Amino acid sequence: MVSKVFIVTGGARGIGEAIIRALCREGAIAIVADKEVEKSWDLVQELRDEGSEIDAVIGELAEAENCRKIVAFTLNKYGRIDGLVNNAGRNDQIGLEHGSPDEFMNSIRSNLLHYYSMAYFALDALKKSEGNIVNISSKTAITGQGNTSAYAAGKGGQLALTREWAVELSKYGIRVNAIVPAEVMTPLYREWIGTFERPEEKLQHINEKIPLGNRMTKAEEIAHMAIFLLSNKSTHITGQHIFVDGGYVHLDRAMNVLSNGKVKT
C-alpha cells in the first residue's frame, strides 16, 4: 500500500509538531515545512530513528517561492500530496494603537499569504489525490483579543478561505476544513505568558475561564482532530470551522467545573 503524503507548515514545534508526530504514528509520510533549521532536523532525525518516513524543507513561508519549493520537493521525492495542513504563524501583537499600516501588511504576509501560496502550488497534486486541506486558525478571529489587529485579520482570513475553497474545490472531491483552537500551551504561548509580571497567576486566571476541566487544550488534542479531518473517516465533512477549545468560545465562562466532574453555574 502506498503511504499517503502530508505537508505541515510550522511543523517543527507546537501544534505543527504534534500533528507531524500523529501523522507518523498513523504510518503516513510527513513533510515538515518550517523556517527553523535546527528544530526541524532534530524532529526529523528523532522520528526517522523510530522508523517513520519524514522529511523537512526549510524556508520562510512568507516568500511564495519557498512555498513552491516545498511542494516541488515533495512531488519530486514522493510523487504525490494527499493533504496540506496550513499551520505556521504567530501572534505578533500588531494592534491599531501599537502598529502601522506597513507592520499590518507584513503580519498579513506572515500569517495569511502562505496559506494561499501553499494551497495554490499544491492544488494540482491535491486534485489528483482528491486530498484535503486543514487550516489551523484561532479563536482570536471570532472573539477578538485586543492589540492584535493583524493577527486577528489573518486568522479571520483563514476561516473565510476555508469556506471559499470548500465551495471552489468540491467539484474535485477536495475537502477543506479549519480547526479553531483557543488556549493551547505551545512554545510561543509560553513566551507570551512569560511577558506578564506574574505569569503563573495569569495562566491560572486563563485556565479558570475554560469550561471543560479548567485547563488548556493540549497540542495533541488539536492533532487528533487534524488526523480525523485528513482521514477517510471524515469523507463528508467540508467547509467546517471546528472548535477544539474545551468550550472556551461558545460556553459560558462563568461555569465552574467541580473536582467530581459535575458542572455548576
Measured in whole angstroms, the distance separating CA 26 from the mean position of its chain's CA atoms is: 18
- For the beta sheet containing 29-34, the strands, ordered from the edge strand earlier in sequence to the opposite edge, are 54-58, 29-34, 5-9, 83-86, 132-136, 175-181, 241-244
151 is catalytic: yes
Q: Please tell me which residue in 78, 115, 151, 189 is annotated as part of the active site.
A: 151
Q: Where are the alpha helices (H) located in 50-148, listed in sequence order?
A: 64-78, 101-108, 114-129, 140-143
Beta carbons of 31 and 19 less than 8 angstroms apart: no
Residues in a beta bridge with 7: 31, 84
Chain position carrying cell 513566551: 191
65/53 Cα distance (integer angstroms): 25
Asked if residues 188 and 90 have their Cβ atoms less than 8 Å apart, the reply is yes
Residues in Cβ contact with 6 at an 8 Å cutoff, skipping those fewer than 6 apart: 23, 28, 29, 30, 31, 81, 82, 83, 84, 85, 230
Report, as residue numbers or ranges, the catalytic residues: 151
